[in-house]
Structure 1
Amino acid sequence: MTRRVHEVMTGNPVTVEKLTSLAEAARVMRDADIGDVLVVDEGRLRGILTDRDLVVRAMADNRDPAETTVQAVCTTDPVTVGPDDGVDEAIALMRRKALRRLPVVSGNGELVGVVSLGDLVVEQDPGSALAAIAAAGHDS
């Protein structure tokens, strides 16, 4: 039987509001030991901000992290999956779009989770070296 995204996703993903400063978003990432945050506005997904976005789109352009908001540099309109989509569909989408994480959004547009490459590796090949690395990341 095909597993569904809601079975492997991380529920309650870390989010920041679109007007959050880059400095605060970076602190949130540091404190949660993660490389991205989902950007929301009134509970609706508006984008995704990665640690790479902070470096390439903000620091490299000499943006003031205390004054620049996440909406100014985040990836808007991110690719998403639904909680009832198949894990195989999520993997194919990540492969096709070269993505490491997918926000999970319900049919009514509510953000319900995030599924990462690590989540899917653990699901598909739990004995692999990549699965061991991904699992270790959840323990630290």
Structure 2
Amino acid sequence: MARIIREVMSSDVEVINPNDTLRDAAEKMRSLNVGPLPVCDGQRILGMITDRDIVVRAIALGRDPNTTQVADAMSSGIEYCFDDDDVDSVLRNMKVKQIRRMIVVDRNKKLVGIVALGDLSGEVSEQKVGETLEGISEPSSPI
């Protein structure tokens, strides 16, 4: 069993530029069949945009996806882990922060991958994954 994140993460991560439009992001998500995309300006991670961000932070507010930039709807200050972090500590952080995916960086904070709860499910006990999912699924307060 893998004990560190680099052994289970997905290293082939597509990113999007903060100046791209929400339509560009949505099209990339559709073609890749993914919900989140890291937002990067070169090697620097600025945030994350999800399909939900596009709907809740833009479309629901009447913003035009053809002209609204990714930077206007993305989440900044994202949670990340290091590629040499142990699986158990990442699971704990996912539970506490209520997130299903986490950006993975090296010790120079360069993007090297992404890890999802599903990636970890075969690496720890079903009980730990279940507890993490339960914590992630706790209802949050309405906006």
TM-score between the two structures when normalised by the length of structure 1 = 0.86
Deviation at 1:106, TM superposition (A): 1.1
Q: How many residues align?
A: 127
1:135 aligned partner? none
Q: In structure 1, what is the Cα distance between the partners aligned to 2:82 and 2:39?
A: 17
Deviation at 1:123, TM superposition (A): 2.5
Q: Which runs of 5+ in 2 are unaligned?
A: 131-143
- Across the aligned residues of Structure 1 and Structure 2, the Cα RMSD in angstroms comes to 1.6
Residues 11-31 of structure 1 deviation map (CA, whole Å, 9 limit, x = unaligned):
021100111100000000000
1:9 aligned partner? 9
Deviation at 1:2, TM superposition (A): 6.4
2:70 aligned partner? 70
Q: Give secondary structure in 2 for the equivalent of 1:96.
A: helix
Q: Give secondary structure in 1 for the equivalent of 2:104.
A: strand
Q: Which runs of 5+ in 1 are unaligned?
A: 131-140
* Structure 1 segment 85-100 matched on structure 2, within 5 A: 85-100=85-100
1:40 aligned partner? 40
Q: Give secondary structure in 2 for the equivalent of 1:102.
A: strand
Q: Which amino acid aligns with 2:48?
A: I
Identity %: 39
1:51 aligned partner? 51
TM-score between the two structures when normalised by the length of structure 2 = 0.84
- Structure number having the greater helix percentage: 1
